[in-house]
Amino acid sequence: MKLIGSTTSPYVRRIRILLGEEPHEFVNLDIYGEGRDELRKTNPTLKIPVLEDGGQEIYDSRIIARYISAQQGRDPLTWDQQNQLTMIDGANDSAVILLLSERSGIDTSRDVMFYNLQRERIMTTLRTLAAMVDEGEFDDWQYPSMCLYCLVDWLDFRDLVDWTGVESLLSFRDRHREEPWVARTDPRA
Ligand SMILES: N[C@@H](CCC(=O)N[C@@H](CS)C(=O)NCC(=O)O)C(=O)O
């Protein structure tokens, strides 16, 4: 099994944590630099992660997680867990847009519709996820908790949000720092 990604992507990190000790090769690409040609050969959507297993390529962390979870004999996600993933991905996708825009020299703090929508989505989803954390919905270290961990830690790493009112997400992150593969996949390392 081969996982193609990068050490900084939160979508890749969740799969690395899920894979844990499963035997696999990890290919770390700089997708905006010298690794882009390799990415072009790998995935026409030009996104990571990509999983290759016995001639089967799989795109998108959500589908990759389904594939790995089935192999690991994990229960399929409930509809509520699927909704949690959709919220986590919604916030994550909008935050990636903000980061790539900033790197393109665009001031995303301007009062314009497109960036207002991204910032609003990030905060509405984070507030809902923080309330779920307070209700104990992410106490178990299952795939949705791994995804939430990777989102929160990445938003903090990239300094993309003001945590006022959603501090319980940072406490959630701090409570789970010792989980398997979390330290080994730290994007700051
Ligand atoms: N829905 C995808 C999102 C993956 C994604 O956006 N990955 C980022 C890296 S953090 C990426 O490859 N971005 C490339 C781009 O947007 O051009 C998944 O869950 O795998």
Count of C-beta atoms within a 10 Å radius of residue 15: 28
Nearest atom in ligand 1 to the alpha carbon of residue 60 is 20
pLDDT value at residue 2? 98
pLDDT value at residue 126? 98
pLDDT value at residue 115? 98
- HEC readout, the chain: CEEEECCCCHHHHHHHHHHCCCCCEEEECCCCCCCHHHHHHHCCCCCCCEEEECCEEEECHHHHHHHHHHHCCCCCCCHHHHHHHHHHHHHHHHHHHHHHHHHCCCCCCCCCHHHHHHHHHHHHHHHHHHHHHHCCCCCCCCHHHHHHHHHHHHHHHCCCCCCCCCHHHHHHHHHCCCCCCCHHHCCCC
pLDDT value at residue 5? 98
Split the chain (189 residues) into runs of 10 and give each run's mean pLDDT: 98 98 97 97 97 97 98 96 98 98 98 98 98 98 98 98 98 98 97
pLDDT value at residue 155? 98
Q: Pick the residue whose CA is nearest to atom 9 on ligand 1.
A: 9
pLDDT value at residue 154? 98
> Is 43 touching ligand 1 by the criterion CB < 6 Å?
no
pLDDT value at residue 36? 98
Name all domains of the chain by residue range, CATH numbers in brackets: 2-71 (3.40.30.10), 79-175 (1.20.1050.10)
Nearest atom in ligand 1 to the alpha carbon of residue 64 is 20
Q: Distance from the CA of 119 to the center of ligand 1, in angstroms?
A: 18
pLDDT value at residue 44? 97
